[in-house]
Structure 1
Amino acid sequence: MNNVQNAKDEKKYNKWIVILSILIPVVVAILFGVKIPNVEPLTFLPPIYASINALTAIVLVVAFMAIKNKKVVLHKRLMIFAIVLSVCFLVMYVAYHMTSDSTKYGGEGLIKYVYYFVLLTHILLSIAVIPFVLITYVRAITNNIEKHKKIAKITFPLWLYVAITGVVVYIMISPYYV
């Protein structure tokens, strides 16, 4: 496929990338404030979705190694799996917050500032990474491989940071769950 055709194919997805990049954070923010009354809190979910974040990080690293070793099919399957894992995380995260009160961090001193720094960067980058993941994926499925490689060099470390810091945030706050 030539570059002109790749660009045309990619352009078809741009509207969806913009819509999803805005809609996902807005819907999550809205649902984060919604509490479902008379429902048993889903307090068992945080260790599950933290584990999903850990698995996502592992999958991202293995996918990176696969493409470095020219195992394109394996890379593709792992990246789709990483996207599915991220969607599962998000569904569980929202479900937990719709049924449970937010947990307050109880650490003191320097560790409190470290926690809030990690939490804040995790949240901000989890929003910022959405369009990067979508653009990177679209460039792959439209066979725009050179552009895919270029943006993947940004997407990979961002997404990996979000996955790893999700686990770190969970570990740091887990002693304070009720």
Structure 2
Amino acid sequence: MEMLQPVQEQKANRVINILALAIPIAVAILLGIRQKVDLGSWTTYLPHINGIINSLTSILLLLGLYFIKQKNIEAHKRTMLLAFTLGSLFLVSYVLYHLTNESTPFGGQGWIRPVYYFLLVSHIVLSVVVVWFVLRAVYYALSGQINRHKQTVKYAFPIWLYVSVTGVVVYLMIKSYYVH
């Protein structure tokens, strides 16, 4: 694939940097809105759908790793783009849920409580960090900059996998406290 011109590269970097800042800021602002929007009771099922999305994303990330180790680049590309698509769908679903429903408090007591909050906080912090890495990894792969893609993925992959897996674990830990 042909290399991008410096001007194109600068524009792509600017878009990635803006998105990597704008997405978490927009989510934080939307989560801070106290007046909830009524879109119907169907939105109460979104956390369960998000648990499924995170589970599938975790599986796809591991499959993507498997395919690239097998040098099956086409399967790797399809798998990782599907994981990226699911991550985007998760973001929309997550925002929709929190725009329409109050946050669910964790009711666990004892030693499980700090475990839950450690997983939740690390999940949230790393979900903000991983956006920049994932956008760069996808950009480098699609623009044919494979060496830069590989360098970025050294950080993006383990963080993204951790965020996906802890998303499932946190969901399973709080699942019984959701009200329908």
Q: Above 0.5 in TM-score?
A: yes
3-state secondary structure, aligned to 2:91: helix
Aligned partner letter, 2:120: L
Q: Which residue of 1 aligns with 2:23?
A: 24
Q: Which residue of 1 aligns with 2:133?
A: 132
Q: Distance in 2 between matches of 1:32 and 1:68?
A: 39
1:3-152 maps to which residues of 2 (within 5 A)?
Answer: 5=3, 8=6, 9-34=8-33, 35-41=35-41, 42-152=43-153
Which has the higher mean CA deviation after the structures are superposed, 10-19 or 163-172?
Answer: 10-19
Instruction: Go from structure 1 to structure 2 and tell me whether the alpha carbon gap of 1:36 and 1:142 turns closer, same or farther (over 3 Å shift).
Output: same
Give the number of aligned pairs: 176
Q: Which residue of 2 aligns with 1:164?
A: 165
Task: Name stretches of at least 5 consecutive residues in structure 2 with no aligned partner.
Answer: none
| TM-score normalised by the chain length of structure 2 | 0.92
Task: List structure 1 segments (4+ residues) > 4 angstroms apart after TM superposition.
Answer: none
3-state secondary structure, aligned to 2:124: helix
* Matched-pair identity in %: 47
Instruction: Go from structure 1 to structure 2 and tell me whether the alpha carbon gap of 1:144 and 1:38 turns closer, same or farther (over 3 Å shift).
Output: closer
| TM-score normalised by the chain length of structure 1 | 0.93
1:6, CA displacement in angstroms? Answer: 5.0
1:7, CA displacement in angstroms? Answer: 7.2
Q: Distance in 2 between matches of 1:177 and 1:112?
A: 16
Q: Distance in 1 between matches of 2:39 and 2:157?
A: 38
Task: Name stretches of at least 5 consecutive residues in structure 1 with no aligned partner.
Answer: none
8 Å Cα contact 2:64/2:79 also seen in 1: yes
